[in-house]
Amino acid sequence: MRKIGLVIAVLAISLLITGIATAVDYPTKPVTIIVPWSAGGATDTLFRAIAAVFPKYSGGQPLVVANLPGGGAVPGTMEFLRAKPDGYTAIS
């Protein structure tokens, strides 16, 4: 019984060490938020307010607000779907 406890403890510690070793800094480049509506609207205003304080919490990286209005939000949504799935592009 004692041996099983030791094995479990060793496994738990090794999992913790692995998690620490694979941690990476994020973000390492600007993050883009696609707002599929016109500038000046409520969504745009909200994300511009977030963008103003974003560098403080992201290691200095900016939040870029990209307005892509028109077509019932289809152009903005399509741009988001075409973006590289690396976590640096989001849609509102």
Kindly report, residue by residue over 64-81, the tens digit of the pLDDT: 999 999 999 999 999 999
Distance of CA 84 to the CA centre of its chain: 13
User: Can you spell out the DSSP letters for 9-56?
Assistant: HHHHHHHHHHHHHT---S-SS-EEEEE-S-TTSHHHHHHHHHHHHHHH
| Residue 76: burial class (beta carbons within 10 Å; 0-12, 13-18, 19+) | buried
Q: What is the pLDDT of residue 20?
A: 59
pTM higher than 0.85: no
The domains located in the chain, with CATH, are 25-91 (3.40.190.150)
